[in-house]
A and B are shown apart, each in its own frame.
Chain A
């Protein structure tokens, strides 16, 4: 082996090392979203929309649990309510308030549909997610949509 080829090898492994180091620094898969934020992606990805993010903290400042979970019939289960836009415009679920009277109306699509595409339905920071379920990683953009085609 010539000295030149040897140098190439050394530099090659150095560059590879640098690249690996950089990816480790740049890619941080952990999210630190607010406790009790719910990502709802039953149908959103399939319809070409970002998943909806429901912040419990914002709503419990304004309403007691009872309003949604007793009066409006939201089940205590992430993704268990099978909410669709059709139900919302008929005044069910989110539509009971998000009608332009109690809260802003449905034309502000991106206010709810603001999640990273490909994020599955889950309850952020739940004990179950922390202890039992594997950590999720958002799929690369567009991948989940390909699957559905």
Chain B
């Protein structure tokens, strides 16, 4: 044993660690030298390196990470997977299209706490909101919202019922204001897959994105 074998100690420990986390290892053996184990280079360059791992969808309460498995009643609770089996699917949120589910009469949630015969007060009015950026304009449909909610849930505390009175932007929504009071918490969340649910009206014909000030005043053009 000499100094050269001493240098191998951290390398060996690293090798052992990598072997445990089941990464394939590359064995480099120079003639006459001791064997060194290094992680295969390609493993560092995978796709979606910084994305969260695909979660298991709608897991039963004992497996969901917020219910306590030491609690016996956790095992009595219904599994969402079982409850959602017959409902239309989406790619985000609960992975259930709740609006479609009541439109197709697959669900009939009560409008009144006690009386299951009472019908919601549905108002069919679309509000179009032009958007500065090049994404399609927003259409807000009252119908889908009044299927679930009462006027006083949104008006006037969250939205002033008057044209041009509500400044809405995506930052506010992502921070849980305006539409974000529900969207991103209970109703469908803001993901790339759901943009077009709101941004659904194509720009008028001939619409071009406004040029930025810096481009208009560009001294080098």
B-binding residues in A (CB < 8 A): 1-3, 6, 9-10, 13-14, 16-18, 20-22, 24-25, 30-37, 39, 50, 53, 55-58, 60-67, 69-72, 76, 96-97, 102, 108, 110-111, 113-117, 119, 123-128, 131-132
A71 and B12 contacting across the interface, CB-CB below 8 Å: no
Q: Can you add 20 more A-B contacts, CB < 8 Å, to A30-B53, A117-B68?
A: A1-B1, A6-B6, A13-B9, A14-B13, A16-B13, A30-B65, A33-B67, A34-B59, A34-B94, A53-B61, A57-B96, A60-B186, A65-B186, A66-B120, A97-B113, A102-B114, A114-B71, A115-B67, A116-B67, A116-B68
Instruction: Give A65 to B182 CA distance when docked, in angstroms.
Output: 10
A64 and B120 contacting across the interface, CB-CB below 8 Å: yes
B73 and A110 contacting across the interface, CB-CB below 8 Å: yes
Is B127 at the interface (CB under 8 A from chain A)?
A: no
Q: List chain A residues, Cβ under 8 A from B107.
A: 61
Interface magnitude class on chain B = 35 or more
A72 and B113 contacting across the interface, CB-CB below 8 Å: yes
Known: A31-B66, A34-B94, A66-B120. A10 touches B9 (CB 8 A): yes
Known: A66-B148, A115-B68. A126 touches B184 (CB 8 A): yes
1/0 per position for B42-68, CB-CB distance to A under 8 A? 000000000011011011010111111
Instruction: Give A90 to B83 CA distance when docked, in angstroms.
Output: 31
B65 and chain A: residue at smallest CB distance: A31
Is B218 at the interface (CB under 8 A from chain A)?
A: no
Least CB distance, B162 to chain A, in whole angstroms: 21
